[in-house]
Amino acid sequence: MPPDVATTNFTGLDWVIVAIYIVFSVAIGFLVRRYVTNMTDFVVAGRTISKWLGVATVIGTEIGLVTVMYAAEMGYRAGFSAFHIPVVLAAMALLVGATGLGIVPLRRMGVLTIPEFYGRRFGPNTRALGATILVLAGVMNMGLFLKAGATFVANVTGLQHEAHIKWIMTVMLALVLAYTMLGGMLSVVLTDYVQFIMLSIGIFVCTGFALRATGWSSLVSAVMQHKGPGGINPLVSESFGITYILFMCFVGMAGVMTWQPNVVRACAARDTRTARWMFVGGSLGFLIRQLIPALWGICAFAYIAGNPAMAAAFAQGGSKTSMDAMPFFMARILPTGVLGIAMSAMLAAFMSTHDSYLLAWSSVIVQDMVAPMFPHGLSERARIWCTRVGILAIGVFLLLFGLWYPLAGQALWNYMAITGAIYFAGATVVIIAGAYWRHASSAGAVAAIVAGTGSVLALAPVRSAVLPSLGRLLGLGASEIARLESHLTEANITLSCTVLAVIAMVVFSILIPDARDGSSEGPS
Q: Are 461 and 406 in contact (CB under 8 A)?
A: yes
Q: According to the model, what pLDDT value does residue 5 have?
A: 54
Provide the whole-model pTM: 0.82
Domains of the chain: which residue ranges? 3-404+413-511
Give the angle subtended at the CA of 211 by the CAs of 206 and 216, to the nearest 5°.
155
The DSSP H or E segment spanning 311 is helix 308-314
Q: According to the model, what pLDDT value does residue 194 have?
A: 64
CB atoms within 10 A of CB 417: 26
Residue of 387, 80, 77 lying closest to 239 (CA atoms): 77
Q: Which string of b and e fits 211-226 if b means at least 16 CB within 10 Å?
A: eebbeeebbbebbeee
**Residue 290 DSSP symbol:** H
Is CATH 1.20.1730.10 the right assignment for the domain spanning 3-404+413-511?
Answer: yes
**Rounded CA separation 417/395 (Å):** 21
Q: How far is CA 456 from CA 124, 298, 420, in A?
A: 25, 30, 10
Q: Are 290 and 262 in contact (CB under 8 A)?
A: no
**Rounded CA separation 364/140 (Å):** 15
Tally the C-alpha atoms within 13 A of residue 229's C-alpha that lie toward its C-beta: 3
Q: Coil, strand or helix: which one is 210?
A: helix
Could you state, in chain order, the average pLDDT of each consecutive group of 10 residues for the chain (524 residues)? 63 88 69 51 46 53 77 94 94 90 85 86 92 87 82 83 76 73 54 66 87 90 93 91 93 85 71 80 80 95 90 81 91 91 79 71 80 76 79 83 68 88 92 93 96 90 78 75 76 93 97 70 40
Torsion (CA) 170, 175, 181, 187 in degrees, nearest 10? -150
49 strand-pairing partners: 269
Q: What is the CA radius of gyration of the chain?
A: 23
Q: According to the model, what pLDDT value does residue 106 have?
A: 85
Q: According to the model, what pLDDT value does residue 513 have?
A: 94
**Residue 254 DSSP symbol:** H
**Rounded CA separation 91/238 (Å):** 24
Residue of 406, 455, 397, 96 lying closest to 252 (CA atoms): 96
Helices and strands in the chain, H and E counts: 24, 0
